[in-house]
Amino acid sequence: MIKEVLLPDLGEGIEGAEVSEVSVSIGAKVQEDDTILVLESDKASMEIPAEIAGVVEEILVNTGDEVSTGQLLIKIREIEGKSSPSIKEPTKVEEKKLDIPEKAPIKTLEEPELFKSDTKSKGIFASPGVRRLSRELEINLSVIKGTGAKSRITKEDLHSFIKRQMLMSSGGKQQPIKKEVDFSQWGEIEALKLTRINKITGQRLQQAWQEIPHVTQYDKADITDVDVLRKNLKEEGLKKNIKVTFLPFLMIAVAKVLKEMPKFNSSLSHTNEDLILKHYINIGVAVDTPSGLTVPCIKEVDKKNVFELSEELMDISTRAREKKLKPEELKGSTFTISSLGGIGGTSFSPIVNPPEVAIMGVSKSEWSQVYDKKNDRFNTKYIMPFSVSYDHRVIDGAAAAAFTTRVGLVLSQIENFS
Ligand code: CAO
């Protein structure tokens, strides 16, 4: 029996559409539900599926043809015993047109199974445009996790996949986009080799800066009372050879607020579909070393006191400078603190340390005159400026302002450190 495939009523007032792809050729065997044609109207793209299993007998349209409701498109000769009585609606999808990126960079990628086109796999939902693009780029859709309704693979999923693969294939390295300039033509020069740490840190910072929508919230904390407490503990610490700086107090305050506001202690999943909240608090500390910036991690900060944290800080910062950290000591942080308070400056915007979603930057504290409205007088206070940069995909501005306000308040109350 010959089955005539006619253009069904597309609904929504769509009278006709353009054939954007003829997916089969004469003599080709098709299974029920295989895409035989792809159409594009001004409202949607749609796949026309084969209603029966069979062999393509005749194709009456070409790519670019305008077709209208009821028009004969394709004839399929049925394979005995495989008919399906149901008449199926074409699969409509939301996307209309796709920005098709250049093919060339993708061709250079390795991982063959990722790039073997497999657009007809059952259980994969994707628009015709996405399927067409995946075929052109020879990307296997079954390796992509769709973020659309019913796990449909969207154009954005395909683009994110391509972006990830390109980054991986370049080892996350910055592409050489700069033309070499001979600076010596204007005077004497000297070239310094970047250390391995400089290069790795540079790549990570560049990637974080490009991928994370950063916003920085600036604030100030009154640490007058904590300064008195620190001086007392510093005296006590000296007897045990422990150097007590401000950092342990900051870590304790931050850990307390991270527990109250767990989104700041989270990471986006690799598909950006879930937010992973961590029920542990490990704080990364940016340490300036002669070979570059490193970020060792202090685990379970919420369970440690000022002396324990001070001891650990002395240990990891010393070993970081001597390049004696173990790889696992650089992993697992849930939030990072970058303190320039011992050096100077009034404020700065740190870059989020992925996969974390927030980082605190600390600047040098100063004695200031602060007006007390209630008693109508100025008081001399020790004020520490700090900032929190955050991933705006995860954290809203209001939450960030609440976070820094709370950290400021916790830092002003010495009972939080006993
Ligand atoms: N305000 C005023 N004084 C501060 C301060 C602040 N916010 N922070 C630290 N200090 C004081 C310390 O208390 C200490 O004073 P005392 O000698 O009186 O005890 C002094 O400054 C020196 O502190 P420190 O820098 O040696 O120690 P720390 O615990 O504050 O910091 C460490 C340790 C490892 C974080 C630091 O040495 C370091 O490497 N900082 C650089 C980090 C960096 O490069 N970040 C930039 C990354 S780019 O985003």
91-93, strands of its sheet edge to edge: 66-68, 16-22, 35-40, 45-49, 91-93
Q: With 90 as the cut, is the pLDDT of residue 256 above it?
A: yes
Indicate if ligand 1 lies below 6 Å from the C-beta of 362. yes
Residue 200 lies in a domain: no
CA distance 362 to 286: 11
Single residue among 34, 61, 78 that ends a domain in this structure = 78
- The residue whose CB lies within 8 Å of the most ligand 1 atoms, and thus the one to mutate among 245, 254, 293, 362, is 245
- Measured in Å, residue 341 CA sits from the centre of ligand 1 at 5
Residue of 230, 246, 353 to mutate, ligand 1, most atoms within 8 A of C-beta: 246
SS3 letters across 14-59? CCEEEEEEECCCCCCEECCCCEEEEEECCCCEEEEECCCCEEEEEE
What is the CATH number for 23?
A: 2.40.50.100
Give 64 or 61, the one with higher predicted confidence: 61
Q: How are the residues of the chain apportioned to helix, strand and coil, as percentages rounded to the nearest 5? A: 35, 25, 45
Predicted local confidence at residue 110, as pLDDT: 35
Task: Encode pLDDT of 362-401 as tens digits.
Answer: 999 999 999 999 999 999 999 999 999 999 999 999 999 9
Predicted model pTM: 0.65
Residue 268 Cα distances to 122, 160, 286, 301, 303, angstroms: 29, 14, 22, 22, 25
**Residue 30 and residue 117 in one domain:** no
Domain-terminating residue out of 16, 43, 78 = 78
CB-ligand 1 contact for 6 (6 Å cutoff): no
What residue type is assigned to position 217 of the chain?
A: Q
pLDDT of residue 171: 56
Is 340 a residue whose pLDDT tops 70?
yes
Task: Give the number of the atom of ligand 1 that is nearest the alpha carbon of residue 348.
Answer: 49
What CA dihedral angle connects 350, 353, 355 and 360, to 10 degrees? -50
Quote the ligand 1 centre to 342 CA distance (angstroms): 3
Q: Which domain holds residue 56?
A: 2-78
Other CB atoms within a 10 A radius of the CB of residue 268 amount to 17
Residue 89 within a domain: no
Give the CATH number of the domain where residue 338 resides: 3.30.559.10
CA of 384 to the centre of ligand 1 (A): 12
Predicted local confidence at residue 220, as pLDDT: 98
Q: Which amino acid is at 66?
A: E
Checking if the pLDDT of 281 tops 90, the result is yes
Q: What is the pLDDT of residues 286-333, one digit of tens each?
A: 999 998 999 999 999 999 999 999 999 999 999 999 989 998 999 999
- Reported as a pLDDT band with limits 50, 70 and 90, residue 175 is low
Final residue of a structural domain among 62, 78, 94: 78
Strand-pairing partners, residue 75, are 4, 58
The predicted pLDDT at position 86 comes to 41
Total number of domains in the chain: 3
Looking at ligand 1, which atom is closest to the CA of residue 243?
Answer: 19
**Ligand 1 neighbourhood includes 309 CB (under 6 angstroms):** no
74 vs 42: CA distance, rounded Å: 22
Q: Which one of the listed residues 159, 270, 279, 392 is annotated catalytic?
A: 392
Query: Is residue 296 within 6 Å of ligand 1 at its C-beta?
Result: no
